[in-house]
Amino acid sequence: MGKNPMTRIQWRRHQRQKKLALQAMQNSGDNKGKQVVEIAK
């Protein structure tokens, strides 16, 4: 691995966002799920 572009704090925040996006996808319909995923990217 080369230089790490993210700090650990940023990575934790990123992972939490991904997890939240996954939960939102499961809870809501396809339309909302896709929107949440795009925001999380």
Assign 8 a pLDDT band (cuts: 50, 70, 90): confident
Assign 17 a pLDDT band (cuts: 50, 70, 90): confident
Mean pLDDT along residues 5-12 = 82
- Residue 14's pLDDT is 84
Our CA dihedral for 4, 8, 9, 11, rounded to 10 degrees, sits at: 70
CA R_g for the chain: 13
- Residue 31's pLDDT is 56
Backbone φ/ψ region at 10: left (φ over 0), alpha (ψ -120 to 50), beta:
alpha
Q: Is the pTM of this model over 0.75?
A: no
- Residue 23's pLDDT is 81
38 and 30 Cβ atoms separated by less than 8 Å: no
